[in-house]
Structure formats: C-alpha cells, structure tokens
Structure 1
C-alpha cells in the first residue's frame, strides 16, 4: 500500500539524511519519552486520524493500514537501532512529528486512490 511506493522510499532517504539529528546524547533531552516511543505515539495518532477521516474503509482495508504501520515501525527500529531507546530531544520531537505527518500524507494519497 505505502511501503512499496516511491514516496515511502523518499521519506526513508529523508530520515537517513537527518540521522545526525539523532546522534545527540540523552543529556540534551527534556522529554521523558524515547525516540521510538515518540515515533509510535505520533504514527498511532496519525493513523487514527486517517481511519477517522475515512469511515468508508472496510475492516480488511483498515487491517492493511495497520500492517503497513507495523512495517514502518519495524523499518524505523532498524534505522534508529542505536538511538531508539534514548530520550528524545526537543529537536528530535519536532522532526518526529513532521515525519509522522508526512507518513500520514502518504496514507491519505493511497487511501484516496483506493476508494476511487
């Protein structure tokens, strides 16, 4: 649905281009949440929005969206393995929020195509 599209590949490249942002140590952190906790929280909120905005999605289509999110979280865990359990800095938190919004945009486009 999303993970096999060029847009997703570009987002992963965007993330890898900004990995330096995640090299900041924990002692610069003000957040009590880890990098992966923030990603999971933000992605969950975005997918809840996607499903809420598209009540016509079938049960199977919603499950497909959830499987895609699981795949995205797995990819993020692989890419951010070294820092996934570090507390997030304010800059990382902003990036994670932005990145999660971009993921939602991918889902919005794919769902729009799916429901046509």
Structure 2
C-alpha cells in the first residue's frame, strides 16, 4: 500500500459511498423505539467503542503497517465517526436499543472490511 499526501484509503472510494447509503437506508432503526438493555451505552459511545476495537484489530492483524499508515487509518476512522455523528446527531445521546447495537456492530465490521481490502 502506498500512501501519499492527500490520498485516502477508503473515504473517497465507492465502497465507503455504498456504506453511507447503507446507513441512510437504515436510519429508521434510530427513529423508532426498541428494547433497551439495562446499562446500555449511548449511541455515540457504542459507535466509538466498537470502531476503536476494529481499528485495534486492523493494526494487530497488519503488523507491517508503518506509523504513517496507522496514522492515516486513525484519521480516516475519525472522519467516519464524524460522518456518523453528523447523520445520527439527533440520537447520539440516546441509549442504544438491541437492534441499533446489532446494526452498529455490523456497520463497524463493514468499515473494517473496507480497510482490510485497502491494505
């Protein structure tokens, strides 16, 4: 993988556009009430935690990544989290429902897949 200034790994790729569309098509999950488990985190907390876990996995699975490449991954993940925060701004402080948790975990897995494919 070659990284130069201004180049991105996933943010400007078709796969990311499709992922954003997938999120858009599933926004109703965040608009309807559902089962909230005791001690459920807030929507944004869960997004940050789950995506952070996947970033750690990416770096652990790809020990050959340079510091520059790891930094690029972190910057792009920050951009993805920012996009999620923008799209879900009206619900980021709500406790996650069971269905939302499943979606967020699936979405984060798809983000990881984008990075895996780029690496």
TM-score (norm 1): 0.91
- In structure 2, C-alpha distance between the alignment counterparts of 1:28 and 1:85, rounded to whole Å: 16
Q: Could you tell me which runs of 5 or more consecutive residues in structure 1 were left unpaired when the two chains were aligned.
A: 112-116
SS of alignment partner, residue 84 of structure 1: coil
> What is the aligned counterpart of 2:36 among 29, 42, 55?
29
Q: Could you tell me which runs of 5 or more consecutive residues in structure 2 were left unpaired when the two chains were aligned.
A: 1-8
Residue-by-residue CA offset, 1:21-66 (whole Å, 9 max, x unaligned): 00124x7422520111111111000110000000000001000000
Q: Which has the higher helix share?
A: 1
CA RMSD of aligned residues (A): 1.1
- In structure 2, C-alpha distance between the alignment counterparts of 1:48 and 1:89, rounded to whole Å: 25
SS of alignment partner, residue 51 of structure 1: helix
Q: Does 1:46 align with 2:58?
A: no
| 1:18-97 correspondence to structure 2 within 5 Å | 18-25=26-33, 28-30=35-37, 31-97=39-105
Structure 1 ranges of 4+ moved more than 3 A: none
How many residues are matched?
110
Give the corresponding residue for 2:118: 110
